[in-house]
Structure 1
Amino acid sequence: MNLIHPTALIDAAAELDSSVKVGAYTVIGSHVRIAAGTVIGPHCVIEGRTTIGQHNRIAQFNSIGGAPQDMKYAGEPTELVIGDRNAVHEFCTFNLGTVQDEGVTRIGSDNWIMAYVHIAHDVRLGNRTVLANNATLAGHVQVGDWAVVGGLTGVHQFVKIGAHAMVGFQAHVAQDVPPFITVDGNPLTARAVNVVGLRRRDFSAERIAVIKQMHKLLYRSSMTLEQAVAAIGDLRAQQDDVADIDLMLSFLAAATRGIVR
């Protein structure tokens, strides 16, 4: 069975697995590679040095692999790499990387990306994230696994959003958002631990209690950030499983824009 619509324009140099399905009037460029089981809807443009993994679902009217919206970009051979099993809804724009960073925009696997989402150059999007309608990630943004970014939210360039964090509707994110925390508003405000999300991911009550302790040290004590980081480090000696503590400490050590307080 022919899975490529006869009106699709696919460059002869593009590499598509024989199981890839391509809808009407879609255009696919010469440096594109698409793995098994991926479905591309009608009226999409996929260009640049773009690699798309297995079993993705890319809806109609998407622009994938376009040039960075960066005035320094001069046509360098940068890339966009997309993992497996992502759902990409309508009218999204994903850009190539730039040589000012790694030269690669990276999108992980199992992400739910709603309509009109913009993923700019050099973004690193983790796994199992949710980006709601009109979420906009500026250049060099990093989003950890399982994070949720609400609709109509703008994320400033170079911002980091930690794993399991949740950013509310129409937020202005100009500072780093630590793991496990819910934030919203303009100016951005830290609200609480993302308890509902953690329970949905089968975090035990004990794990959540430790995360609440870290939140209390960061946001409910009179400590400076440096003192709070030291106190979170002291929690390690009291726990058998320190993965969540280490995740928080590594994030805070790597924060470059200051964390939302």
Structure 2
Amino acid sequence: MGNIHPTAIIAEGARIAASATIGPYATVGAQVVLDEGVQIGAHAVLDGITHLAEGVQILPFASVGLPPQDLKYKGEPTRVEIGPRTVVREHATVHRGSITGEGVTRLGADCLIMCVAHVGHDCVLADRVILANNVMLGGHVHIGDTVFVGGGTAIHQSVRIGRHAVIGGMSGVERDVIPFGSCMGNRARLIGLNLIGLKRRGFGREAINALRAAYRGLFLGRGTFEARMALVAQDQGAQAQVAEILSFIGEPSRRGLMRAGRQVDESEAEAA
């Protein structure tokens, strides 16, 4: 095929669309499926039960679908799925699922996985997620739509990141991050809301004001967290984005919820 470099190694059984391109010295395993317009760069390695949707780009020296870094894994038929137009940059790694999870590592549409980032086994990334250079995701991490993770950040196994959140670079994330939240640090703590991202993505003044009030009520007020959560549900819970945060908090979690970096008294919270 004219789109496959003669030095590429393609195992018998691989399913490659006519418009896919494969660069020099790339390796494609027998159970790999490449849809239309997929581009595989030089020296990239694709293995295992791996499906790349239309327009995915895998750049040089990246590897996708190799076995998980899990000592319990014994070659079971787990897989990787990557959604349309997602880009995996140089030297990044995306490992296939394990038997301790759902058996699949899944990246959504229009994601960008920058150089040397690592997506561990059983991770699930929704659409438009950006992992900057050297980000490390432990196994079973779930990340919602339109999340940005800054360079050099490490996210602990089984952490959940709500949609539209932003994680500052060089952070160590051990707890779940609420939707629309902003956090940073080692170990990371909430520092507020992703206000710049919300404005860029067209969230209106009413939604942003409701989120601010909910954030103050949940993380900057007095009393038990349960009492504060009940009060926020009563006062702002009908607003869609606030309801999303409350639902996220109420879902099962293996890591617990990330809290704000410090608590303040009521007068300071009111002025925030």
What range describes the TM-score normalised by the shorter chain of this pair?
Answer: over 0.9
d(CA) in 2 for partners of 1:68, 1:47: 12
d(CA) in 1 for partners of 2:107, 2:13: 23
1:142, 1:159 within 8 Å by CA — same for their partners in 2? Answer: yes
d(CA) in 1 for partners of 2:207, 2:108: 25
Larger mean Cα displacement after TM superposition, 195-204 or 212-221: 212-221
- CA displacement, residues 208-240 of structure 1 (integer Å, 9 cap, x when unaligned): 111111211122111322123222322456x4x
Larger mean Cα displacement after TM superposition, 247-256 or 11-20: 247-256
d(CA) in 2 for partners of 1:98, 1:231: 41
d(CA) in 2 for partners of 1:205, 1:221: 23
Counterpart residue number, 2:264: none
Say whether 1:258 aligns with 2:256.
Answer: yes
Superposition map of 1:192-207 within 5 A: 192-207=192-207
Counterpart residue number, 1:139: 139
TM-score, normalisation: structure 2: 0.92
Say whether 1:64 aligns with 2:59.
Answer: no
Shift of 1:34: 1.0
Counterpart residue number, 2:244: 247
Counterpart residue number, 1:223: 223
Counterpart residue number, 2:107: 107
2:163, 2:179 within 8 Å by CA — same for their partners in 1? Answer: yes
2:214, 2:236 within 8 Å by CA — same for their partners in 1? Answer: no
- CA displacement, residues 15-53 of structure 1 (integer Å, 9 cap, x when unaligned): 111010110000000000111111111100000000110
1:82, 1:109 within 8 Å by CA — same for their partners in 2? Answer: yes
2:140, 2:157 within 8 Å by CA — same for their partners in 1? Answer: yes
Counterpart residue number, 2:152: 152
Match of 1:182, SS?
A: strand
d(CA) in 1 for partners of 2:37, 2:230: 48
Counterpart residue number, 1:129: 129
1:28, 1:46 within 8 Å by CA — same for their partners in 2? Answer: yes
Superposition map of 1:1-261 within 5 A: 2-235=2-235, 239=238, 242-254=239-251, 255-261=253-259
Shift of 1:12: 2.1
Shift of 1:194: 0.5
d(CA) in 1 for partners of 2:115, 2:146: 19
d(CA) in 2 for partners of 1:213, 1:34: 47
- CA displacement, residues 56-82 of structure 1 (integer Å, 9 cap, x when unaligned): 121110010000000000100001111
d(CA) in 2 for partners of 1:13, 1:148: 37
Q: Which amino acid aligns with 1:160?
A: R
Shift of 1:200: 0.9
d(CA) in 2 for partners of 1:102, 1:228: 35
Q: How many residues align?
A: 258
Match of 1:97, SS?
A: coil
Shift of 1:258: 1.6
**Unmatched 5+ stretches in structure 2:** 260-272
d(CA) in 2 for partners of 1:111, 1:232: 33
Match of 2:178, SS?
A: coil
d(CA) in 1 for partners of 2:219, 2:181: 10
Larger mean Cα displacement after TM superposition, 206-215 or 228-237: 228-237
1:217, 1:223 within 8 Å by CA — same for their partners in 2? Answer: no
Q: Percent identical across equivalent pairs?
A: 40
